[in-house]
A and B are shown apart, each in its own frame.
Chain A
């Protein structure tokens, strides 16, 4: 008799590969093989994963339509089954898959829309934290500001696109209404953060994505500002910093030499 591990090995392989025959010895009530019955499991697994991706990517689903989405998500799911029983985490890598998905090549912004949706889901389930207010930062003197390191909110995500991906995303969620978009109109970067109960999506001005990413790498404000200026010569540090504080992007600060990250 086959060992249980071998039985589950062949069962699992056949679930994810529709070209494989159902494993032997899986029978109906008459004791005879029943591929149709095995197909129920195959369908449950793949349809369940597609449904999870659909729930997490409503805009991508709306843009491409149900049939296209199911075909695309099904290919992703069978090649990339979940690695964890926590299905909240499922869908990492879907945007990168879309990047390489040949039939979607006429929708070059689609993967970036998927990145926004992935960031939204991650922000939704991220750890809770109380954001810093502008008052919390009053204690820093102007000279010290450049040396300050700012700790990002655990829910904070940044996405970048060379297309108006954020505009397209907004038109395709909730009661948004799709309209013609000029794909040459320039890129859009987004900040996705959940400072309190709700996930909020902001458009970032040019250079701000580099600024936030550099802060996120643990670098001080001065280094982040240099990175931002390289990306966008017209970068306005004061306006960006104010906007980020208002968005609840930060949860703590420290001076460069400090080891204690909490504000006094």
Chain B
């Protein structure tokens, strides 16, 4: 089932019953693929029930596309099986690495933006798309440091990966704000340079403000609170350019009640409705 250009919510076990019992009006749900790689049990039962009622998007957090080592073929096969079972409208993964040697580091770690990394990531995405037999979306990272050896701007790097592989993009607007604050970039300039034409989904989440050793702002991508005012501004800027786009509220820690989470999704939906749809804007400029 195709993901509609509406607001969706990251599905958490704590909200399974609310969702199934109250059948809320939500555009789609998204789950982390790795949370549904158990052999059986209640998680699959609930996800199957939700999937019967709503479009589903699948978001991987463990493929380690940015790793120097080859992709984990077993993991890729598990993804393929999960996609065959739940038929998600979209599948996305991160511009990040999380595996080294035989250890899985359970975090989305940053990569230097170099020619070597670019080739490595592009060939991994080629392999993913060939194995899964479908397009994947690549998500921009939230970063806390930069690599001195980087030779590409992040937006140029992502644009080049997208051009080489034909993958789609998941634009995490919160990550744009977090990375821009941490790296002292202009987030609007980032969005102007970003290949928005390839965006098929947007993520929004909360972050935690901290500071580094020089008291410079350091935002941590914690997904544990409402979306920040500045992120809503960036979101409106993107929606003005893109028109309504599937938009996910990610809330992964310190979970609120289902009603609070749903209200956050409705806010994204209201933003999409209040901005002029792309088609009308185009008409206005031609007339």
Residues of A within 8 A of B (CB): 1-5, 7-9, 11-12, 15-16, 24-31, 34-38, 40-41, 44-45, 48-49, 52, 81-88, 90, 124-129, 154-155, 194, 197-198
Q: Does B62 sit within 8 A of A, measured CB to CB?
A: yes
A1→B113 CA distance, assembly (Å): 13
A1-B149, A197-B45 given; A82·B38 CB < 8 A? no
Specify which chain B residues have a CB less than 8 angstroms from the CB of A24 in the assembled complex.
148
Decide: B145 and A125 in contact? CB cutoff 8 A: no
Q: Give bound CA distance, A30 to B104, whole Å.
A: 31
**For A84, what are the chain B residues with a Cβ–Cβ distance below 8 Å?**
104
Q: Is B80 in the interface zone, CB < 8 Å from A?
A: no
Roughly how many angstroms separate A154 CA and B64 CA in the complex, as a whole number? 31
Interface residues of B in 83-111 (CB under 8 A from A): 97-107, 109-111
Q: Which residues of A contact B40 (CB under 8 A)?
A: 125-129, 154-155
In the complex, the answer to whether A124 meets B42 with C-beta atoms within 8 Å is yes
* In the bound complex, CA of A85 to CA of B35 (Å): 10
**CB-CB nearest in chain B for A86:** B37
Chain A residue at smallest Cβ distance from B149: A1
Which of A4, A15, A36, A45 has the most chain B CB atoms closer than 10 A to its own CB? A4
Other-chain residue from B72, B78, B148 in contact with A31 (beta carbon distance below 8 A):
B148
- Are A85 and B104 in contact, CB atoms less than 8 angstroms apart? yes
Which of A2, A16, A88 is packed against the most chain B CB atoms within 10 Å?
Answer: A88
A28-B105 contact, Cβ under 8 Å, with A124-B42, A126-B41: no
Chain A residues closer than 8 Å to B111, beta-carbon distance: 4
User: How near does chain A come to B17, taking the closest CB pair, in angstroms?
Assistant: 12
A-B contact pairs, 26 of them (CB 8 A): A3-B68, A4-B111, A8-B100, A11-B109, A15-B107, A25-B147, A25-B149, A27-B146, A27-B147, A36-B212, A36-B218, A37-B182, A37-B212, A37-B218, A38-B145, A41-B109, A49-B106, A81-B103, A81-B104, A82-B106, A86-B38, A90-B106, A126-B39, A128-B39, A197-B45, A198-B42
Which of B37, B61, B117 neighbours the largest number of chain A CB atoms within 10 Å of its CB?
B37
Tell me whether B69 is interfacial, beta carbon within 8 Å: yes
Q: Contacts of A81 on B, CB cut-off 8 Å?
A: 103-106
Residue of A nearest to B184 (CB): A29
Residue contact A194 to B100, C-beta cutoff 8 Å? no
CA distance A8 to B97 in the complex (A): 9
Within 8 Å CB of B138, what residues of A? none
Nearest chain A CB to B83 CB, angstrom units: 16
Q: Tell me whether A12 and B37 are in contact (CB under 8 A).
A: no
Q: Is the CB of B39 within 8 A of A48?
A: no
**Cβ B146 vs Cβ A29 within 8 A:** yes
Given contacts A2-B149, A26-B145, A128-B40, contact A36 B213 (CB under 8 A): yes
- The answer for the CA separation of A26 and B210 in the assembled complex, in Å, is 18
| Closest residue on chain A to residue B104 by CB atoms | A82
12 A-B pairs besides A15-B109, A38-B144, A85-B62 with CB distance below 8 A are A3-B68, A12-B101, A12-B103, A25-B149, A26-B148, A34-B214, A36-B213, A85-B64, A86-B38, A125-B38, A127-B39, A128-B39
With CB as the reference atom, state the residue of chain A lying closest to B97: A8
Give the Cβ gap from A22 to chain B, nearest Cβ, in Å: 9
Most buried by B among A2, A3, A86: A86
Contact with A along B164-201 (1 / 0, CB 8 A): 00000000000000000011100000000000000000
B51: interface (CB < 8 Å): no
Q: Are A28 and B107 in contact (CB under 8 A)?
A: no
